[in-house]
């Protein structure tokens, strides 16, 4: 028994979207496109589950660009902290050589 031909994803998407938009019913789409109602129902279910998974993934995981920005903020915050420590060390070193710094007005 031969395997049925593979249906392009674009065609499945077009059919599913027309059903979801209310342009046709599943039964009408099945008759028009010569597919079973069950097949179209499965495509619709897969489409909706995939969309849900995509939305859930988007909520829990930052995008690549957002991740790059977060990494850069972390790196810059660390560099700022290190610079602040160095400034304190230089001030203490200068006080030891030059005496206490003048009070601010």
Buried b (16+ CB within 10 A) or exposed e, 10-31: eebeebbebbeeeebebeebbe
What are the structural domain ranges in the chain?
1-61, 63-105
The whole-number pLDDT of residue 102 equals 64
Q: Which residues of the chain have pLDDT under 50?
A: none
The whole-number pLDDT of residue 23 equals 95
Residue 3 CA to residue 93 CA, distance in Å, equals 81
Residue 34 CA to residue 20 CA, distance in Å, equals 18
The pTM score is 0.51
1-61 has which CATH code? 1.10.10
């Amino acid at each position: 028994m031969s395997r049925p031909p593979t249906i392009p994803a674009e065609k499945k998407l077009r059919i599913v979207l027309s059903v979801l938009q209310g342009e046709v019913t599943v039964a009408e789409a099945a008759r028009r496109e010569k597919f079973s109602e069950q097949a179209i129902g499965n495509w619709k279910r897969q489409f909706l589950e995939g969309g849900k998974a995509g939305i859930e993934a988007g909520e829990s995981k930052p995008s690549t660009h957002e991740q790059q920005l977060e990494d850069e903020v972390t790196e810059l915050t660390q560099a700022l902290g290190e610079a602040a420590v160095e400034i304190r060390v230089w001030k203490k070193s200068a006080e030891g050589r030059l005496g206490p710094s003048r009070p601010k007005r």
